[in-house]
Amino acid sequence: MGNWEQMKENASWYDAGTFDVAVVGAGHAGCEAAFACAHLGLSTLLLTLHLDQLANLPCNPSIGGTAKGQLVREIDALGGIMGEMADLSAIQTRMLNRSKGPAVFSPRAQMDRASYSRRMKSRIEKEENISLVQGEVVELFWNSEKKIDGIRTRSGACYHVKAVVICSGTYMEARTIRGEVIVESGPDGLSRSVGLSRSMEEAGIPMQRFKTGTPVRVNARTVDTSVMEIQPGEPDMPPFSYGNEMNGFTPRPDQIPCYSIWTTEETRKVITENMDRSPLYSGVIEGTGPRYCPSIEDKFMRFPDKSRHQIFVEPMGEETQELYLQGFSTSLPEDVQVQMVHSLPGLDKAHIQRAAYAIEYDCIDPTSAKLSLESTCLEGLFTAGQINGSSGYEEAAAQGLMAGINAAQKILGKDPLILDRSQAYIGVLIDDLVTKGTKEPYRMMTSRAEYRIFLRQDNADMRLTEIGRRIGLISEERYSAFQAKRTAIEEEKARLRTTFLPPSEKLHEVLRKCGSTVTQSGASLAELIRRPEIHYADLKEVDEGRKELAAAVIFAVEVDIKYEGYLALEEERIRKFAALESKKLSPDIPYDQITGLRLEARSKLAQRKPSSLGQASRISGVSPADIAVLLVYLESKQREGKEETNG
């Protein structure tokens, strides 16, 4: 057991100072956590293994994507910084899923990897309340009440703190694997974290081991892109940051293209002939890998009916020739990787600059955390990012922001901020991890969100900016701009609903151009926009009262009107969801004594201690019948309380 008093008895340790919060790890989660704590007025120590690798992008050099883009916009709406840094470092931007409904529109941007890390480091270093230190944390200190008390680094520096946020990424007890070659290191050959995992186990925190991987990087000079399908950027994608959006920020005009290719029969042959050397199938790899992002050899083995798989060739930045082969991760030996790469179109002479590898690392069982991301085993200890079993930069940053906010809230004596599943993708992410747990690296997807028509990327500010301001992360200037946008949206929707267009030849001509039926009785502008084939821009010629509005306002207005019926149904579902969430469960409920609960439900509920009936309903092993029993139990307790009061 770590004990702060031991420091005084050990000559090799020394008192390095006192901080409100220590954030361990300066990846995407750690930077957001430290930024939130600092902006809420707390003295914040941010420790990192590598001072030149803040917010590193060791795998895919991009931010956003399906569901992930929604997370980035939510982070920004609450007052986080990932979106702002991504806008400044983007070399290509695209809005994914444009052919589908706006509920799944997802912004994605290719990053200049070095620029993103450099900008984040500069931003963190300029924060007055953040002390950035290079150091490896190897031990936690806690007192007899199992409350966090301090941390110790490998160099012997001991810091006295009130809370700790661990954002260790894929570094804890990590090892990289390429065929028969196993190296004890973190990603990109960087040093790993040793000791902290054991200290957490001593505190009673259940651990597990996961695996992920990254593809090869090749030199662009040795690649023939003329045989590949080009994927240009889209200069009309809105910025991730609402602050940038309000200031008229636009993507760079000279966007760097990506490319798309497919594996060949030769690729399949090379892989299948060398499967006996795959550590993934030989048992060398112990950690569980991501189901939704399998290695290329796993794709061929799991989907034998597919003759080929798509690969994306993506630039790593403006000032480097490195290209990233998205979808081509592998743990096969380096000599096999050379053959695999040379089997791809346009890559027959490609020079590999960095070989692919699998990486194993320690993480916790996230069901040992509360919805605030505070540990149930050690008071004052918060975890965020891949240590909680998730994958992805965006998932990590979202958790880091929430863990930082809640560490600050705890120290300031305030209630934790809990976002539920109806409020944000962030709420879905954290609830899934904490309530359901995960046995493989968790990835955010739009299909995980029950209310995705409401949880769109364009309205994250409407959902969350009020919350960010209440906490203290949104400036008055930013809030005033937000209020102006919200007012503009509501006023325009009201105008469209009350502006009636009588039948006319001009209106009929516009309708015919749109492929819409001609109206003989006229219609309001809102009624016309509600038609699937008609858009706000199509009615410009017949809308005499139209004002110049920002693109973001126009998009929000059109979506709100066009999907009004669906949104009303969604809001009704959210009300029913909220009714379950509002029925709070005390952590002291004696589940083993409640008649009618099945044995599995009793065990799971006693172990997880859900905070509400809604959360209890999402625990694996708790059936609808068990929820009905709990509801009866709550009602009986409520009646007993009233009788005692009346008596």
What are the tens digits of pLDDT across the range 359-408? Answer: 999 999 999 999 999 999 999 999 999 999 999 999 999 999 999 999 99
Indicate whether 3 belongs to any domain: no
State the average pLDDT for the chain.
92
Q: Is 54 helix (H, G, I), strand (E, B) or coil?
A: coil
CB atoms within 10 A of CB 645: 7
Residue at token pair 């409020």 = 423
- Single-letter amino acid code for the residue at 584: K
Indicate whether 471 belongs to any domain: no
Q: Do 433 and 500 have their domain in common?
A: no
- Give the pLDDT mean for 531-543: 94
Residue 326: predicted pLDDT: 95
Contacts 24+ apart (CB under 8 A), 505-509: 506/541, 506/542, 507/542
Residue 248: predicted pLDDT: 84
**Is the per-residue pLDDT at 532 higher than 80?**
yes
pLDDT confidence band for 306 (50 / 70 / 90): confident
Q: Do 549 and 403 have their domain in common?
A: no
Residue 1: predicted pLDDT: 46
Indicate whether 4 belongs to any domain: no
Q: Do 483 and 343 have their domain in common?
A: no
- Give the pLDDT mean for 36-59: 96
pLDDT confidence band for 531 (50 / 70 / 90): very high
**Chain CA centroid to CA 10, Å:** 41
Residue 388: predicted pLDDT: 98
**Is the per-residue pLDDT at 646 higher than 90?**
no
Work out whether strand 157-166 and strand 229-231 pair parallel, antiparallel, or are unpaired: unpaired
> Which of the listed residues 574, 596, 614 is the one where a domain comes to its end?
574
Are the beta carbons of 627 and 612 closer than 8 angstroms?
no
Residue 4: predicted pLDDT: 59
Q: Do 482 and 457 have their domain in common?
A: no
CATH number for the domain spanning 206: value is 3.50.50.60
Q: What confidence tens digit (pLDDT) does each residue in 467-513 have?
A: 999 999 999 999 999 999 999 999 999 999 999 999 999 999 999 99
Indicate whether 641 belongs to any domain: yes
Q: State how far the Cα of 610 lies from the Cα of 624, in Å rounded to an integer.
A: 15
CB atoms within 10 A of CB 393: 30
Burial class (CB in 10 A: 0-12, 13-18, 19+), 364: buried
**Is the per-residue pLDDT at 647 higher than 70?**
no
Residues 6+ apart with CB under 8 A from 551: 236, 238
Q: What confidence tens digit (pLDDT) does each residue in 190-228 have?
A: 999 999 999 999 999 999 999 988 999 999 999 999 999
- Give the pLDDT mean for 612-636: 88
**Is the per-residue pLDDT at 563 higher than 50?**
yes
507-519 as b/e: b if 16+ CB within 10 A: bbebbeebebeeb
Q: What confidence tens digit (pLDDT) does each residue in 256-282 have?
A: 999 999 999 999 999 999 988 887 666
> Which of the listed residues 434, 464, 494 is the one where a domain comes to its end?
464
Q: Do 35 and 149 have their domain in common?
A: yes
| Element containing residue 17 per DSSP (H, E) | strand 14-24
Indicate whether 7 belongs to any domain: no
Q: What percent of the chain has pLDDT over 70?
A: 95
Indicate whether 11 belongs to any domain: no
Length of the chain: 647
Q: What percent of the chain has pLDDT over 90?
A: 77
CATH number for the domain spanning 489: value is 1.10.10.1800
Lowest mean pLDDT among 31-45, 60-74, 237-251, 339-353: 237-251
Q: Do 44 and 111 have their domain in common?
A: yes
**Is the per-residue pLDDT at 521 higher than 90?**
no
- Give the pLDDT mean for 425-445: 95
In 282-383, the DSSP E strands lie at: 310-315, 322-329, 352-354, 357-364, 381-383
Residue at token pair 């791809």 = 344
Q: State how far the Cα of 270 lies from the Cα of 286, in Å rounded to an integer.
A: 24
pLDDT confidence band for 631 (50 / 70 / 90): confident
Indicate whether 519 belongs to any domain: yes
Q: Do 396 and 511 have their domain in common?
A: no
Residue 281: predicted pLDDT: 66
Q: Do 558 and 591 have their domain in common?
A: no
pLDDT confidence band for 116 (50 / 70 / 90): very high
Residue 135: predicted pLDDT: 97
Q: Do 256 and 293 have their domain in common?
A: yes
Residue 217: predicted pLDDT: 97
Q: Do 492 and 620 have their domain in common?
A: no
Look up the domain containing 281 and give its range. 17-464
- Single-letter amino acid code for the residue at 199: S
Domain count, the chain: 3
CA atoms within a 13 Å half-sphere pointing along the CA-CB vector of 282? 14
Q: Do 203 and 296 have their domain in common?
A: yes
Lowest mean pLDDT among 25-34, 163-172, 180-189: 180-189
> Which of the listed residues 574, 608, 633 is the one where a domain comes to its end?
574
Residue 213: predicted pLDDT: 87
DSSP assignment of 64-84: E-TTHHHHHHHHHHHT-SHHH
Work out whether strand 258-262 and strand 157-166 pair parallel, antiparallel, or are unpaired: unpaired
Lowest mean pLDDT among 26-35, 380-389, 439-448, 492-501: 439-448
| Element containing residue 37 per DSSP (H, E) | helix 28-39
Q: What confidence tens digit (pLDDT) does each residue in 218-245 have?
A: 999 999 999 999 999 998 899 999 999 9
| Element containing residue 496 per DSSP (H, E) | helix 476-498
Q: State how far the Cα of 91 lies from the Cα of 317, in Å rounded to an integer.
A: 7
pLDDT confidence band for 291 (50 / 70 / 90): low
Q: Do 379 and 397 have their domain in common?
A: yes
Indicate whether 139 belongs to any domain: yes
Which residues sit opposite 612 in a β-bridge?
Answer: 584
CATH number for the domain spanning 619: value is 1.10.150.570
